[in-house]
Homo-oligomer: A and B are copies of this chain.
Amino acid sequence: MKIDGKAYRSIWAEDDGKTVSIIDQTRMPHSFVTHQLTTLEDAAIAIRDMQVRGAPLIGATAAYGVAIAMRKDPSSRMLGDSYDLLHATRPTAINLRWALDETANLLRPLPEAERADAAWAHAARICEEDVETNHAIGKHGLGLIKEIAAKKAPGEPISILTHCNAGWLATVDWGTATSPVYQAHDLGLPVHVWVDETRPRNQGASLTAWELGRHGVNHTLIVDNAGGHVMQHGMVDLCIVGSDRTTASGDVCNKIGTYLKALAARDNGVPFYVALPSTTVDWTVDDGIREIPIEQRDGTEISWMPGKDAQGQETSVLICPEDTPVANYAFDVTPSHLMSGLITERGICEASKAGLAGLFPEKAKAA
């Protein structure tokens, strides 16, 4: 997508064939800083310190990390070491593991002299596939937006609520939940996005608001508490969120608070869709609420809020008494019956076992 008129991806290979560039997302929204990754360690730090985040982008960064390592030392020992180092950065990230396995399986049988070029080409392919997947999700979601637009007066805004950042910064490009929005905007449809702040890590306020603003998409930041009110008053035409993990029956585990928005959407007759690449589907799990363990993260993510002070310094402030006990549940599960449908790279389906199996019969059967 564009940043003030200039096209960007969240990760890109430089022309020298040995350097990869990323946008440091820990500095957003207050500073736009890019880093050049020239060593395996640079790539590991970028993932571990969350300079890059979002499952697809983590996978792409890991694949490029191996490629960078292979350029310097294409030995099998380095292949194993780079796998181990990168995997340890965020051991629970399924996409990271997947990208590393794919890369290692491809490179291991090759002669050393061919590994570096193959690794670079493979990392580039992972990126292209992500872009294609997200573009396809956007194309299908765009149909929903066009249907809503057709029922409105010309020029009347189509308002879409989203939660967290399932935007282009979480992927290589387009994003998942934002892909239909960007495609509608680029076609000239008057979309407007309600951006949930998304406490505790504020990915809505710091990332989604930033990327929509830089691309020129009309949007308004609200607190997570406000979603029910705006739906109650007819100010939302459509909700689209992302998914961190989807069950075979269509339950969606996503950023904490997603479930509350799905409840409000149902109560007010607002369509609620989840945009997801099929790689987020765990075909071995059915009941998301019972079967998916919810990660508890450090309480300081709630009690300390990062930002920029009036002097322009990036700092953090404590927002509760120092001795307040805090619980920080990172995700929640939205049951499939609350959703209008799932937007995947192969089309839109009912959020159900039958719906997903209809679009992905080979994966449903294999599970």
Contacts and interface: CB of A to CB of B under 8 A. Distances in A.
Contacts of A307: 304-305, 316-319
A22 to B, nearest CB: 20
A288 to B, nearest CB: 10
A258 B229 CA distance: 10
Contacts of A263: 228, 260, 263-264, 267
A355 interface: no
Contacts of A228: 257, 259-260, 263, 332
A90 to B, nearest CB: 22
Interface stretch (A111-119, A174-182, A202-210, A356-364): A202-210
Query: What copy number does this chain have within its complex?
Result: 2
Interface stretch (A46-54, A214-222, A278-286, A344-352): A214-222
Nearest to A261: B260
Interface stretch (A57-65, A75-83, A128-136, A192-200): A192-200
A229 B335 CA distance: 12
Contacts of A227: 260
A327 interface: yes
Contact of A257 (B225, B256, B302, B323): B225
Given A221-B325, A302-B222, A229 B332 contact: yes
Interface residues of A, number: 63
B221 A224 contact: no
9 interchain residue pairs of minimum CB distance:
A307-B317, A225-B257, A229-B332, A205-B320, A199-B223, A263-B263, A228-B259, A29-B321, A225-B256
Given A197-B302, A197-B319, 16 more contacts: A29-B320, A197-B199, A199-B199, A213-B321, A220-B326, A220-B327, A221-B299, A221-B302, A225-B257, A229-B259, A232-B259, A260-B260, A260-B263, A304-B307, A305-B305, A306-B317
